[in-house]
Amino acid sequence: MIIVLRPEATEAQVNHIIDKIKALGLTAHLSKGSERTIIGVIGPEDVLRVTPLEVFPGVENVIPVLSPFKLVSREFKKENSVIDLGKGVSIGGKEVVIMAGPCTIENIDSLFEIAREVKKAGATVLRGGAFKPRTSPYSFQGLGKTGLKMLKQVGDELGLVTVSEVMDLRDVGLVADSVDILQIGCRNMQNFNLLKEVGATKKPILLKRGMASTVKDMLMSAEYILSAGNFSVILCERGIRTFEDSTRNTLDISAVPVAKQLSHLPIIVDPSHAAGKWGLVPALAKAAVAAGSDGLIIEVHNHPEEAVSDGAQSLIPANFFNLMTELKSIANAVGRKI
Amino acid sequence: MIIVLRPEATEAQVNHIIDKIKALGLTAHLSKGSERTIIGVIGPEDVLRVTPLEVFPGVENVIPVLSPFKLVSREFKKENSVIDLGKGVSIGGKEVVIMAGPCTIENIDSLFEIAREVKKAGATVLRGGAFKPRTSPYSFQGLGKTGLKMLKQVGDELGLVTVSEVMDLRDVGLVADSVDILQIGCRNMQNFNLLKEVGATKKPILLKRGMASTVKDMLMSAEYILSAGNFSVILCERGIRTFEDSTRNTLDISAVPVAKQLSHLPIIVDPSHAAGKWGLVPALAKAAVAAGSDGLIIEVHNHPEEAVSDGAQSLIPANFFNLMTELKSIANAVGRKI
Amino acid sequence: MIIVLRPEATEAQVNHIIDKIKALGLTAHLSKGSERTIIGVIGPEDVLRVTPLEVFPGVENVIPVLSPFKLVSREFKKENSVIDLGKGVSIGGKEVVIMAGPCTIENIDSLFEIAREVKKAGATVLRGGAFKPRTSPYSFQGLGKTGLKMLKQVGDELGLVTVSEVMDLRDVGLVADSVDILQIGCRNMQNFNLLKEVGATKKPILLKRGMASTVKDMLMSAEYILSAGNFSVILCERGIRTFEDSTRNTLDISAVPVAKQLSHLPIIVDPSHAAGKWGLVPALAKAAVAAGSDGLIIEVHNHPEEAVSDGAQSLIPANFFNLMTELKSIANAVGRKI
Amino acid sequence: MIIVLRPEATEAQVNHIIDKIKALGLTAHLSKGSERTIIGVIGPEDVLRVTPLEVFPGVENVIPVLSPFKLVSREFKKENSVIDLGKGVSIGGKEVVIMAGPCTIENIDSLFEIAREVKKAGATVLRGGAFKPRTSPYSFQGLGKTGLKMLKQVGDELGLVTVSEVMDLRDVGLVADSVDILQIGCRNMQNFNLLKEVGATKKPILLKRGMASTVKDMLMSAEYILSAGNFSVILCERGIRTFEDSTRNTLDISAVPVAKQLSHLPIIVDPSHAAGKWGLVPALAKAAVAAGSDGLIIEVHNHPEEAVSDGAQSLIPANFFNLMTELKSIANAVGRKI
């Protein structure tokens, strides 16, 4: 922690700050410059992070030196985390994992049909929403428990790993019993009690970035899950909110290399929710693999015209199949494999 | 709903769309322009809102005409909603309601002291956090139940209305039993299950705007609460996330008149979380009252240097007192009253 | 400047950095913490600001301590700058200066009529565009020289100070000869050569904030003008670009107190371009005065239905008159005067 | 253009609007829905775009149907534009064009050395700044005319196409005489007079996206150049300003497919300015090629520690060489060629 003092700071003010630092068990290191005096604080920053040094008289600015996250950081663990997803699939290694399926689970026949198509194209994880976060209370809210059962049945029968969102912390047990990966949606990225609950399970967690969250915020949310004992966290970039209105959100492709620098956790990209339009999905999916993403989660629907949600951003199986062909070549080009 | 067709759309494609519209029980209205053909859809838009018309062949763009919110809208209710907060205080009328207190409830003595100060200055609502949403799992998470008891005791003894955040839907009953107003924090604005839970209570709800949410998004979240039966919702502008880094968030002061145009619900402003620095709070508070805000929620602490959270943005009682004097004059200037 | 080293930085790397610092005539100050070693650099930061210390091996992060602006800063000049605008009007003192008029100068009769109305309501500065920055090359680009003559004639006859935008650096002389205040539009805030040109005049400059510029960026642009010898700069907040779509831009009301803390220059607010809708202008104008703005610039048109530009955000004279009445009371409430 | 009326709009108000539409030579098409009446306007939208229909009594909302750009649009020209850059290089076809070089031209030896390295790696265009837009007036502003001469000498000798920024419209002739491609920097994307000036040359123009500009805004700026007679415009995505602070800007990778859908013009990506950190440049460059970018512009410096600007984001030749190897494979994977 660096404390920059105002030019007019008095000696009494400086001493008051140094006394506070000492009282917290830390060491203060005074450095008088030509225009500013600076106090460097030596010792663990956490105790200072919650002390409002900004309000001490004479203080101009307080600058943290260390990142606030620990368990998720590259410093804590140098090598990439490889997470076992079950059914012979793992993420974070050489393999780029493709997750695909409908936005919402609608019925067992449709789910089976889509699942067979995406499997044939090379996907190893089946996505499908049973509990849906809808901005309108009047929209269809998902099949719930019934949807989860369908997902489990299809996943088991076809040997596909399954992923579905859990929105309500009372449902964590239920969802954990039915699916292989628990998804935390972007609107719940800072629902800290939900993070603690999924942290208490042993299931892999797919943590989607919030629309107004920095990559560091996402890592802090992951820290909640790891600190609760669950190290199997997969980060997911899915677009942030900006002024650009050609797309539903702005895919922050830089999040992939940034997260890789800061953390050992795998990161995947959701081009469907970022774009909001199926015609843009292939370009974003290809960009993600080229940028080093460990996986993709893509919405696929066999009859987008009839989809109960997100039809506009869903690929039909034929387009998904063509995309997978290109993705395989790109994965090879960057030393990965699909 | 307006459907704009591509220049190259075929007649078969147009008919396919019109058939779909009719199948949904709506009327299609074709209009051929010089450069584009347009289909106007007549009838309730909700059924179309969930139909992905964008994926129908020949469609270039789909433009909704109506707002998706109903119960919260000015159209539904022309006059301003005035909400009874208990203890003789109501919000949404001529009175500008001032809510003040510490970010976090720390101990009974400190809470009493701050409460007496803010009451003396003219505040009628006491704020205090018992359950705290902290970005770090290692930060103090609040006194919980014990904190709520302290808040109730101080509120009852001093005759102040109380407000505190509920983060976990399992705590809704507990918080509702202890405080007069339930606060939904900005990170939970789209925690839809929590919204349904507080919608099932009879308590006034203070709904804070999410950091990446438009005013319309905030109204949709309010719609969740109203549609669950609870019409006592107070909106709260508290800053959105932008590239500007001089402030913690960017206070969107326009949200006040925009919300007033679109909705009958009262709206207040939180200058403390928007600014993140106490020195900026008075200017923002004054702006809010001048812009027509129905209230303010301000962090006040008697010893910011020792505050366990948000010390940097808390006013000391003396500064709060001075601010209140100015706010009273501004309220008069715009035909309101503090 | 603070240089934070990577945990694995070698002694050779540290020495290489220190050698560089010494070679630049500065002093390095090493401080070994428990988790990081830090180098504080003592001496003028400017020489370091252009040295890419981030690329030196072993460096994790480089943190500037001082602001990059000088002449515009509060440190350089403690008291508020009061700028003489001519015709008995000055800005930056107790008086809140109201600038009003049409977006675009259309003809002499209309300009006279609007000018008389805004003067009667209490405005002392007449705005009017002669050179218009239009996003479309097919839109009306302004009357140019002819418009400037009209503005001069009306301003002289009615005793109103005049302000108009200069877009092209070849027109600086022409515009400076015709109007009292030269406006730099938001799209030209970082047109550095234009800034230098207007800095070479003796005219007051109204510098509008860019849509993607921080308050600090705006101050750096003002620094260009001051460093060219012209200290008569008026800052102008006019909204930044965010995801919120209810308004044309998001008025960053915090910019007023932030600029006041960092700089001695006066700052005004443009509620018309921020809102983009006349119905929102009064609330924003009132907020601005309450927040401490030194002035306002408001679009007024006598026949908005016929306005050649920005009709949607122009007040009619009657509404402007009512607004002025309220603004006078608010100015009084905050110890100012209109 | 669609005009949505308020529910309470009177017949007189509707007639007033229809009269206006007819007076403009257009046809009005009335459609009464269950909740709203809508007027569709048939005929060229341009005349309406500048008419402030929003202020007509009874109007709730005005929705444009057509895009405001013409010459740049896919509708105007279906096939991709291929632009001849001279020296045997063209852009917009199968070849992905790599532009590389130092941020600022520093001296002839250094420029030659860097140019030889990037040519060896496969770049066909040499970038180098002679006029530099610097946020601080105290920073080095470039070698100007001398720099241009060096660039021309090196380009001619090595057979590399050259690109350099023109900031001042008085310099357009000078720069056009020295370099093969004129660059418009992001801060000048809406410097409309500069756009007209470069539109009057016959040189290819590299138009960088403004930091607060949508893709559509960028296309409108390109429209200025095309409408002045110069159809050789290359768009450039270089990051937009968002709240994310791990990168200098947020690369909007979606801009590539969005621009390709809307326009026939080629688009390239600048990963260096987007990232601001050289370690992130390779991932973004690879993403861009995978997403369909027609080229890249990358900062390369042989001694970043000594670079006078942007050293932190410059690749050293060895890293650039490695990146090029990967880029070639990715280009192949998406059916392109480097």
Binned at pLDDT 50, 70 and 90, residue C27 comes out as confident
% pLDDT > 90, chain C? 76
The verdict on a CB contact (< 8 Å) between B242 and D243 is yes
Residue D64 confidence (pLDDT): 81
Give the closest-approach CA distance of A191 to chain B in angstroms. 7
Containing C232, the helix (H) or strand (E) segment is: none
d(CA D207, CA D186): 8
Backbone φ and ψ for B75, nearest 5 degrees, come out as -65, -35
Is D190 close to C304, i.e. CB distance below 8 A? no
Buried b (16+ CB within 10 A) or exposed e, B66-92: bbbbbbbbbbeeeebbebebeeebbbb
Are D175 and D222 within 8 A, CB to CB?
Answer: no
Torsion region of D292: left, alpha or beta (phi above 0 gives left; psi -120 to 50 gives alpha)? left
Residue B334's pLDDT band (cuts 50, 70, 90): very high
pLDDT one-digit tens code per residue, C273-305: 999 999 999 999 999 999 999 999 999 999 988
Do A294 and A96 form a contact (C-beta atoms < 8 A)? Answer: yes
Query: What are the angstrom distances between the C-alpha of C284 and each of A108, A158, B253?
Result: 54, 59, 7
Q: How many CA atoms lie within 13 A of D93 on its CB side?
A: 10
CB D55 within 8 A of CB C311: yes
User: Mean per-residue pLDDT for B63-83?
Assistant: 90
Task: Tell me the C-alpha distance between C97 and C93, whole Å.
Answer: 9
Neighbours of chain D (3+ CB pairs under 8 A): A, B, C
pLDDT of C158:
98
N residues, chain D? 338
Q: What does each C-alpha distance from C238 to B183, B258, C250, C288 come to in angstroms?
A: 32, 17, 8, 11
Measure CB to CB from residue B240 to each of C214, C242, C333 and give the nearest one.
C242
To the nearest whole number, what is the mean pLDDT of chain C?
Answer: 93
- CA of D253 to nearest chain A CA: how many angstroms apart? 7
Helix (H) or strand (E) holding C28: strand C27-32
Rounded to whole angstroms, the Cα distance separating C102 from C107 reads: 11
Residue contact D305–C168, C-beta within 8 A: no
Question: Token match 């560091």: residue?
Answer: A216
CA-nearest of C74, C105, C321 to C222 is: C74
Neighbours of B299 (CB within 10 A): 30
Per-chain mean pLDDT for chain A:
93
Amino acid in the structure at residue D232: S
Mean pLDDT of C25-48: 80
Candidates A269, A238, A248, A205; CA nearest to A72 is A205
- State the Cα–Cα distance between residues A103 and A298, nearest whole angstrom: 9
Q: Is B243 on the interface with C (CB under 8 A)?
A: yes
Contacts of B170 in chain A (CB under 8 A): 169-170
- The most confident of A20-29, A136-145, C205-214, by mean pLDDT: C205-214
Residue from A177, A149, A150, A181 nearest A164 by CA: A181
CB count within 10 Å of CB C272 equals 29
Facing residue for A275 by CB, picked from D244, D254, D283:
D254
In this prediction, residue D143 carries a pLDDT of: 94
Q: Which residues does residue A315 pair with via DSSP β-bridges, in sequence order? A: A300
Phi, psi of B125 (to 5 degrees): -125, 135
What is the rounded distance in angstroms from the CA atom of residue D222 to the CA atom of residue B17? 35
Question: C168 to each of A72, C14, D192, D202, how far by Cα in Å?
Answer: 52, 49, 9, 22
In the three-class reduction of DSSP (H, G, I as helix; E, B as strand; rest coil), residue C211 is classed as coil
**3-class secondary structure, D28:** strand
Q: Rounded mean pLDDT of A125-150?
A: 92
Question: What pLDDT is attached to residue A69?
Answer: 86
Question: Which of C182, C180, C165 shows the shortest CA–CA distance to C228?
Answer: C182
Rounded Cα distance between B66 and B50, Å, is: 14
Which two three-digit tokens encode residue A229?
A: 């004992």
**Contacts for A107 with CB less than 8 Å, ≥ 6 apart:** A150
Q: Tens digits of per-residue pLDDT, B233-242?
A: 999 999 999 9
Q: Please give the Cα distance from D189 to D167 (Å, whole number).
A: 10
Contact B273, B312 (CB under 8 A): no
Tell me whether residues B136 and A68 touch, CB distance under 8 A: yes
Torsion-angle region of A86 (φ positive above 0: left; ψ -120 to 50: alpha; else: beta): left
Strands (E), B72-138: 83-86, 89-91, 97-101, 125-127
Which pLDDT tens digit goes with each residue over B114-167?
A: 999 999 999 999 999 999 998 888 888 899 999 999 999 999 999 999 999 999
Q: In angstroms, rounded to a whole number, what is the distance separating the alpha carbons of residues B93 and D261?
A: 51
Residue C138's pLDDT band, with cuts at 50, 70 and 90, is: confident
pLDDT averaged over every residue in chain B: 93
| Residue with the larger pLDDT of the pair A137 and C164 | C164
What is the distance between the alpha carbons of residues B9 and B35, in angstroms, rounded to a whole number? 12
Tell me how crowded residue B207 is: count the other CB atoms within 10 A of its CB.
26
The 8-class DSSP code of residue D210 comes to: P
pLDDT at B195 over 90: yes
Residue type, position A12, single letter: A
Q: How many Å apart are CA D182 and CA D172, to the nearest integer?
A: 8
Q: CA-based angle B277:B283:B289, to the nearest 5?
A: 125
CA distances from B105 to A47, B112, B179 (A): 19, 10, 13
How far, in Å, CA of C301 to CA of C103, rounded?
A: 8
Q: In terms of Cα–Cα distance, which of C88, C25, C74, C24 is closest to C52?
A: C24
Minimal Cα–Cα distance from D327 to chain A, Å?
8
Looking at residue D325, what is its pLDDT?
97
ipTM: 0.94
Quick check: C164 and C128 in contact, CB under 8 A? yes
Give the Å distances, CA to CA, from C94 to A321, C82, C206, C335, D103.
Answer: 70, 9, 19, 8, 47
**What residues of D are in contact with residue A253 (Cβ under 8 Å)?**
251, 253, 283-284, 287
DSSP string, A77-88: --SPP-EEEETT
CA distances (Å), origin D248, targets A212, A330, C52, D191, D240: 17, 27, 14, 23, 9
Contacts of A51 (CB under 8 A, 6+ apart): A20, A24, B311
Could you list the mean pLDDT of each consecutive 10-residue stretch along chain D, which spans 338 residues? 88 91 86 82 73 85 83 94 98 98 95 98 97 87 94 98 96 97 97 97 97 96 96 98 96 98 98 95 98 98 85 92 98 97
For residue C29, list its beta bridge partners. C40
Give the mean pLDDT of B173-181: 97
pLDDT of residue A296: 98
Map tokens 């930044």 to a residue. C240
Q: Chain C closest CA to A242's CA: distance in Å?
A: 5
- Chain A, residues 147-176, CB within 8 A of chain C, namely none
pLDDT of residue B139: 84
What's the mean pLDDT in A4-31? 89
Number of neighbouring beta carbons within 10 Å of residue A8: 9
- C-alpha gyration radius of chain B: 23
Partner-chain residue, chosen from C32, C43, C243, that has the shortest CB–CB distance to A241: C243
Least confident segment among A46-55, B9-18, C206-215: A46-55
Identify the residue whose tokens are 């969102």. Answer: A165
Chains adjacent to A (≥3 CB pairs closer than 8 angstroms): B, C, D
pLDDT at C35: 77
Taking the C-alpha atoms of residue B182 and residue B166, their distance in angstroms, rounded to an integer, is 6
B16 in Cβ contact with B56 (< 8 Å):
yes
pLDDT category of residue C317 using cuts at 50, 70 and 90: very high
Helix, strand, coil percentages (3-state) for chain B, rounded to 5, are 40, 20, 40
> CA torsion, points D326, D327, D328, D330, in degrees to nearest 10?
90
DSSP string, A146-183: HHHHHHHHHHHHHT-EEEEE--SGGGHHHHHHH-SEEE
d(C-alpha A58, C-alpha A12), whole Å: 9
Alpha helices in D11-87 (DSSP H): 11-23, 46-49
User: For residue C55, which amino acid is it?
Assistant: V
Report how far apart, in Å, the C-alpha atoms of D194 and of each of C141, D73, D132, D189, D197 are.
Answer: 14, 22, 16, 9, 5
CB D238 within 8 A of CB D63: no
**pLDDT over 80 (residue B49):** no
D287 touches chain A (CB under 8 A): yes
